Structure 1
Amino acid sequence: MKPTESSKRIEVLDYLRGFALLGIILVNILPLLAVKIPESGSADAIYQRFLFLFVEGRFYTLFSFLFGVGFYLFISRANAKGKNGYVLFLRRVAALFVLGWFHVKFHTGEALTVYAVTGLLLLPLYKVKKEINLAIGLILLIVLSIMASKLFMVVPLILLGITAGQYRLFEGLAGKVKKVVFFTVLLLFVSITALIYQYQQAPLYPFGFYNGVDEATYQFLSIGIMIGPIISALYVVALILLLQIPFVQRLLTPLKSYGRMALTNYIFQTVFIYIAGYVFNLFESLTYLQSLLVCLTVYVFQLTFSVIWLRFFQFGPLEWIWRVVTYLEVPPLRKRVKQVY
């Protein structure tokens, strides 16, 4: 297995991380602010059904997969530079665990501690042949998807991310457009079929997802978790295809900045949700559509902040701290200003 030689940032991964963050907050806000159960037949009920068809179980899947890709790239690039990538990675996940430990006190569904522990468990598989990792990852994902085991699905998702790194799937995408088109069409057909099946199992009335559900609703949600990786894969290939269009790539540039600061923006999504909740007394009083408005406000602020911040600084605030702990050195935060003579 050859390490990744280039240290050049793979920008499509930033776009995908940013895209994942857009979806994650839409679901995370529901338990954080104890959003009210919609009334039957209302616009809020329609939006709830939309969330659990197209968002819930889709974006955390993508975020987990991307963590695995980053896992592989980090160690490979560190080793290629003559550093001990394994030691650096251990410090990296230890710092992530500590940050997640604080975060979980405010957001019980947070992912960082799970990623840190899973990353540690999967570290020995970094040297395993990609074909073996692919087989293990797919088998585990299929089994756990059928079981609708959302928490444990993180393991095969991260492993498949590592495998994607081993296969260098995200490098040289311009030369893989035909393959991307093929998989987009294939996944679109499979996803439509899967979503129709899930929709047919949808409960007649809105539900309190976080307060216990009846058998019909549980079945609907379980199917959503089961088909989540398929829908996520469709989102990935579709976005990659769109990014091959220069206009779309420029239009979505803020999303790239958002993804480059994924750790900072993920944590501060929780911070901003709680600030909004306390300042405007939104706990247990917010409707589903009102929660969407809160999320849109957070989008505007975070996307704008990310773009402006990265004009002057090399890393996001928490990314910089994470880097300090990982490398035990203090890298320059501000971008160097080129002198023109």
Structure 2
Amino acid sequence: MTHISSPVIPVKRITSIDALRGFALMGIMLLHCMERFDLTLVPVVENPFWQQADTFVFDALNFLFSGKSYAMFSLLFGLSFFMQMDSQASKGVDFRGRFLWRLALLLVFGYINGLIYLGEFFAVYAILGVLLIPLYKVPTRWLIVLAVLLFLQIPAIVSFVSLLENNVPNEPTHAVAYMNHLYEVCAGIFIDGSLCDVIDFNLWKGQYAKILWVFNNFRYLQLLGLFIVGMLIGRAGIHKSEEKMIKYSRLLLPYAVVWFAMFYTIAYSLQKMGVDGFALQVGKTMFKTYGNLGQMMIYFCGLTLMYYQYGGRKVLDYIAPVGRMSVTNYMAQSMVGVVIFYGFGLNGAVELNYLQSALVGIVFCMVQVLYSNWWIKHFYYGPIEWIWRVLTWLRPVPLRRK
């Protein structure tokens, strides 16, 4: 058998990393249930007590996961990129061309997923991930500088200061206004339209609305910065050493807490400082984005310490298969979520309040935990991961465990 037709041998996984990815993925599902998969209707509960409970659930889950789960998922995307490049480099293989092809496949998966669910993010990862390839050889000190500049979100700062100084009208830009218009249009389609209507909208306008959201909220800057940080973690070899993971988690955790508290305090103090209109929206989003980085690192460091030092290994090992099958599970969340919440399905965005929506998300996460554990006991990869791997290498990849 030639080298080209030989099977790709499965590599050993780092379970703690898979557990972090699984945690992030479940947070994404719970957050999407609060957003009703982009159908952000505000439910009204007649009983005052249950209305307060409903509002509390919405605020709590947004506080816990909005901007944090995707941040963790993005950092781990950068780490996975480095691990793949490093693994192939140890065999004398230049993986850059193959990784570009892998991103092209991810773009296809993302577009297919996006036909059903407008808010899916794999297409965005695929586009921004291309920039990791030329950055792979850049010296560490320059990558650190670049990551800091990206996290500063300088265009957001310029926009915020301009709005405060009245250099521009204190109102949404044309790009933001058009994005809001698209989301208003899609809401009617997602509530009253058929599956074909949803797909027809998402063929182009839905994809454009998503790109506008990433652009208008300067999210592309943070995502690329997180990709780079993940790559730097891999370059430092932290993921390979239990001692290093404990050491750096202990070191970073108190700083992450202070960082998070400082920027969230600023974000929620802007209105008291007299900031209003579109400037308040831009400023609050910007400072919360800064704070989300700190909260994400609290999760990252805290869960790592739980795994290696504080008796959380058994629980986290149980959610690790969810992260190991992250592509399959993410796409499954999209497919099931729109059926539950959209009008062509169970119409949950209209029929369910936030508390009920959260319970739907919790149940679905439990199902994914059980299913993923069963699947990984019998197979090396999730179904989509296996297809992705076969198409990446264009040769046999074992699926069923012997």
Q: 2:262 aligns with which of 173, 186, 193?
A: 193
Q: 1:68 aligns with which of 50, 73, 78?
A: 78
Q: Is the partner of 1:42 in helix, strand or coil?
A: helix
Does the 8 Å CA contact 1:145/1:153 hold for their aligned counterparts? no
Q: Is the partner of 1:284 in helix, strand or coil?
A: helix
| Structure 1: unaligned runs, 5 residues or longer | 1-6, 204-212, 337-341
Deviates more, 1:272-281 or 1:161-170: 272-281
Q: 1:156 aligns with which of 217, 225, 245?
A: 225
Aligned to 1:206: none
Answering whether residue 28 of structure 2 is matched by residue 24 of structure 1, we say yes
Q: Alpha carbons of 1:242 and 1:158: their partners in 2 closer, same or farther (altered >3 Å)?
A: same
Aligned residues: 321
Q: Distance in 2 between matches of 1:144 and 1:65?
A: 20
Q: Distance in 2 between matches of 1:145 and 1:303?
A: 40
Paired amino acid for 1:268: A
Matches within 5 A, 1:69-108: 69-108=79-118
Q: Distance in 1 between matches of 2:100 and 2:251?
A: 38
Answering whether residue 369 of structure 2 is matched by residue 332 of structure 1, we say no
Q: 2:288 aligns with which of 201, 211, 224?
A: 224
Q: Alpha carbons of 1:246 and 1:229: their partners in 2 closer, same or farther (altered >3 Å)?
A: closer
Aligned to 2:58: 48
Q: Distance in 1 between matches of 2:39 and 2:314?
A: 37
Q: Distance in 1 between matches of 2:146 and 2:302?
A: 26
Quote how far apart the aligned CAs of 1:223 are.
Answer: 3.0
Paired amino acid for 1:68: G
Deviations 1:259-318 (A, max 9, x none): 100111111011111232355331333222121111111101111000000000000100
Q: 1:267 aligns with which of 331, 347, 351?
A: 331
Deviations 1:53-110 (A, max 9, x none): 2221111111111111111111111122233311221221111010011112222222
Q: Distance in 2 between matches of 1:23 and 1:15?
A: 12
Quote how far apart the aligned CAs of 1:51 are.
Answer: 3.1
Deviates more, 1:104-113 or 1:235-244: 104-113
Flag the structure with larger Rg: 2
Q: Distance in 1 between matches of 2:151 and 2:75?
A: 12
Paired amino acid for 1:310: I
Quote how far apart the aligned CAs of 1:17 are.
Answer: 0.6
Aligned to 1:208: none
Percent same amino acid among aligned pairs? Answer: 28
After TM superposition, the score normalised by the length of structure 1 is 0.86
Aligned to 1:323: 389
Paired amino acid for 1:275: V
Aligned to 2:373: 307
Q: Distance in 2 between matches of 1:251 and 1:306?
A: 14
Aligned to 1:284: 350
After TM superposition, the score normalised by the length of structure 2 is 0.73
Q: Distance in 2 between matches of 1:135 and 1:237?
A: 22
Q: Distance in 2 between matches of 1:229 and 1:145?
A: 18
Deviations 1:189-228 (A, max 9, x none): 332333344445689xxxxxxxxx9765665444322321
Answering whether residue 175 of structure 2 is matched by residue 141 of structure 1, we say no
Output the aligned Cα RMSD: 2.5
